[in-house]
Amino acid sequence: MSRRLPWAAIARVPLYLLAVTMLAPFWWMVIGAFKPVPELSRNPPSFLPADPSFDNFHDPSWTPGKQIAGHVAGLFQRWPELPGGYFRFMANSLFVTTAVTIGSLLLAAMAAYALTKLEIRGRRIIFLVVLASMMVPWQVSLIPNYLIVRNLGWLDSYQGYIVPALAKAFVLFFLVQYMRSIPDELVHAGRVDGAGEFRIWWRIVLPLLRPALAAMAIFIALAEWNNFLWPLIIINDDSFANLPVALSRLSTSVAQNPQGMGVVMAASLLTSLPTVIFFFVFQKHFTKGITLSGIKG
Amino acid sequence: MSTTETPHATVRSAPRIRAAKAKRRPHLRRNLPGYLMLAPFLALFAAFLVWPLLNSLYLAFTDFNGIKPPNLVGLDNFTRLWTDDARFRKALGNTSLYVVFSVGLTTLLALALALAFRTTRLRDKTMRTIFFLPSVTSSMALFLIWGWIFDVEDFGLANTVLAWFGADSVAWLSTPELAVPILVFISVWGGAGYGMIIFVAGLNAIPEELYEQAEIDGASAWRKFWHITLPLLRPVTTYVLITSLIGAFQVFEAVYVVFRTTASNVGGVLDSALMIVPYLYDMGFGKFELGFASAIAWTLFIVIFVVSTVQLRLSRTLKDL
């Protein structure tokens, strides 16, 4: 494969064109967010905002209750009854994502340690049930989970997001696989030194588990950041909405009206930035995480 | 859970030393930390996964509507769903089309991208980053952008591109024949980069010596691809196929965000974009026929289970050829 035939370069050309197609929607979002309202419905559209503005984020000439042609409420001027407005959703998403990621990793890492390194009766059966549960699509448990959360009075609450999401079968499965590669001698050495199991887990096992935890953390955090169907069902009150639900409601409220699409693009841009920045900072971990779980799983 | 298991400790015919140890200290007390560490996961796993699954199986055989206590109705939900529900047939048909084309095209494109951009050169890294970008962007944001791109007006991006080629504007999202192709396009655009990363890892795991040996034997590039790359890539291909298959069957957000026109319509014009999970959402949380919606959920499981089993068998048969 070291010597390249000339057609190999030619064959790449359509893929370069495709790369342009890949970037076009992102570009369309960015310029949409900075186009003033009249420019959003100009025909033919502009591919560089002729008169870029922050009006879609905050429009100084917009006043509540008054209709001025060419001006709509900016993103930060919406949800006036909600303290923080748009940033409330950002905070909700950040909090829920962090809680679910840390919580589910700790629970699964603890359980994986017990299942692989400690004497547990029926561990084969437990592991088998966990494996079997991975074959069932999660939507199957959607309705009963909704009923449970409703009976607990957890609709419109953070618990409603977090608690049902903590026990993740695939995380346990992955960590058990990884834990098997940690030599038992290390654990024994800890016991000889008189450390309790919890201490061994925290001081010896967790640090060794770090690559696996990092890989899983990225998966869990991305999934939780994008979580939509579950909050759509359990969250009615805007003050508990996460970003996807808030964005979906925002787009419904401006539906079919090009004037509001600038605000929707502004919100989309701000919602995408955290994960994209996160990706560029931890790029290596992303690809490593995917291949680690991909090849092993 | 564990109290019932203590009596077995002395009955078991375990090695003598272990038995003696167990007698000195009962199993449960000796291993208490282990059970304590397992308990939080198991409790939540049982409460929010195992129990809901069993409960959903039960609900699928009832007429539960969320308010009145459920009555058992036997197989009524399933017979209604499978024999005379035109909307479900529509949803199943759309989903099948979507799965076949989305999974097929995503995998092909992912493999092509991996073959073209597999090295650590800056050019390849940049291209990989570009194609991977949708995987790390908020999916809600992406679907909102696509909705805006496929705007019905002349100034929508899709219609502007058509105008460059002298074509007339198209009412993209309200043309029933275009619904599934648009969803396939969006999913291939968004998913190819992810598969590409896995394929790149698979390609780089193939020993270079095999290619060198083939080169000495005078094999053409095509033969090397066909006889070395593809066979050695089979486990990776199977993995990509199965995971994207399972994901494609569960499509919801794209349909809900891009095609929903009014609050009560989830499937687009004439249900042209209706899929299994949006239909489940509509019946369960729009119409509150929770028993019937549970039957849809278990049907989804059966479909995914059968298709992925067949796919695994196929891959194994191919290997034996």
Interface of A with B in 159-198 (CB under 8 A): 163-164, 166-167, 169, 172, 196-198
Domain shared by B38 and B115, yes or no: no
Domain shared by B43 and B82, yes or no: no
Domain shared by B102 and B38, yes or no: no
Which position has the higher pLDDT, A287 or B217? B217
Domain shared by B148 and B39, yes or no: no
Percent of chain B at pLDDT exceeding 90: 70
Domain shared by B16 and B147, yes or no: no
pLDDT tops 70 at residue B160: yes
ipTM comes to: 0.93
Other C-beta atoms within 10 Å of A236: how many? Answer: 11
Q: What pLDDT is recorded for position B1?
A: 38
Q: Is residue B20 included in any domain, yes or no?
A: yes
Q: Is residue A274 included in any domain, yes or no?
A: no
Dump pLDDT digits (tens) for B56-104. 999 999 999 988 899 999 999 999 999 989 999 999 999 999 999 999 9
Listed residues A30, A60, A77: the one ending a domain: A77
Cβ contact, residue pair B189, A32, below 8 Å = no
Contact list, B224 vs chain A (CB under 8 Å): 1
Q: Is residue B116 included in any domain, yes or no?
A: yes
Listed residues A16, A44, A77: the one ending a domain: A77
For residues B148 and A264, the answer to whether their CB atoms sit within 8 Å is: yes
Domain shared by A203 and A104, yes or no: yes
Listed residues A37, A58, A77: the one ending a domain: A77
Q: Is residue A218 included in any domain, yes or no?
A: yes
**297 residues of chain A, pLDDT tens digit each:** 445 556 778 888 899 999 999 999 999 999 999 999 889 988 889 999 888 999 999 988 888 877 787 888 889 999 989 999 999 999 999 999 999 999 999 999 999 999 999 888 888 999 999 999 998 999 999 999 999 999 999 999 999 999 999 999 999 999 999 998 889 998 888 888 888 889 999 999 999 999 899 989 999 999 999 999 999 999 999 999 999 999 999 998 887 688 889 999 999 999 999 999 999 998 888 888 777 765 443
A–B CB contacts, 8 A cutoff, strictly below: 271
- Give the closest of B45, B148, B263 to A167, CB-based: B45
Beta bridge partners of B62: B72
Dump pLDDT digits (tens) for B9-67. 444 444 555 555 555 567 777 788 889 999 999 999 999 999 999 999 999 999 999 88
Domain harbouring B133, CATH code: 1.10.3720.10
Domain shared by A58 and A178, yes or no: no
Q: Which of B74-78, B165-169, B259-263, B284-288 has the lowest mean pLDDT?
A: B259-263
- Domain extent at residue B27: 1-49
Q: What does the alpha-carbon distance between residue B13 and residue B8 come to, in Å, rounded to a whole number?
A: 10
pLDDT tops 90 at residue B220: no
Domain shared by A14 and A61, yes or no: yes
Domain shared by A91 and A72, yes or no: no
Interface of A with B in 97-116 (CB under 8 A): 107-108, 110-111, 113-115
- Domain extent at residue A71: 6-77
Domain shared by B38 and B105, yes or no: no
Contact list, A121 vs chain B (CB under 8 Å): 2, 5, 8, 27
Domain shared by A26 and A102, yes or no: no
Residue B69 contacts A, CB cutoff 8 Å: no
Structural domain total, chain A: 2
Residue A75 contacts B, CB cutoff 8 Å: no
Cβ contact, residue pair B34, A119, below 8 Å = yes
Domain shared by B130 and B253, yes or no: yes
Dump pLDDT digits (tens) for B270-288. 899 999 999 999 999 999 9
Q: Is residue A200 included in any domain, yes or no?
A: yes
Q: Is residue A294 included in any domain, yes or no?
A: no
Domain shared by B105 and B153, yes or no: yes
- Angle, CA A21 vertex, CA A18 and CA A25 arms, to 5°: 155
Domain shared by B84 and B38, yes or no: no
Structural domain total, chain B: 2
Contact list, B151 vs chain A (CB under 8 Å): 258, 261
Contacts of A87 (CB under 8 A, 6+ apart): A76
Q: What does the alpha-carbon distance between residue B256 and residue A229 come to, in Å, rounded to a whole number?
A: 10
Q: Is residue B96 included in any domain, yes or no?
A: yes
Q: What pLDDT is recorded for position B116?
A: 92
Domain harbouring A151, CATH code: 1.10.3720.10
Rg (Cα) of chain A, in Å, rounded? 25
Q: Is residue A291 included in any domain, yes or no?
A: no
Domain shared by A157 and A234, yes or no: yes
Q: What pLDDT is recorded for position A64?
A: 82
Q: What does the alpha-carbon distance between residue A126 and residue B134 come to, in Å, rounded to a whole number?
A: 37
Q: Is residue A185 included in any domain, yes or no?
A: yes
Domain shared by B311 and B183, yes or no: yes
Q: Is residue A96 included in any domain, yes or no?
A: yes
Domain shared by A47 and A135, yes or no: no
Domain shared by A162 and A47, yes or no: no
Domain shared by B233 and B315, yes or no: yes
Domain shared by A73 and A91, yes or no: no
Domain shared by A27 and A139, yes or no: no
Q: Is residue B66 included in any domain, yes or no?
A: no
- Mean pLDDT over B163-191 rounds to 94
Domain shared by A118 and A205, yes or no: yes
Q: Is residue B63 included in any domain, yes or no?
A: no
Dump pLDDT digits (tens) for B221-230. 888 899 999 9
Other C-beta atoms within 10 Å of B191: how many? Answer: 23
Closest CA to B150 of B166, B171, B168, B179: B171
Domain shared by A241 and A188, yes or no: yes
- What is the token pair recorded at B121? 């050169």
Domain shared by B132 and B170, yes or no: yes
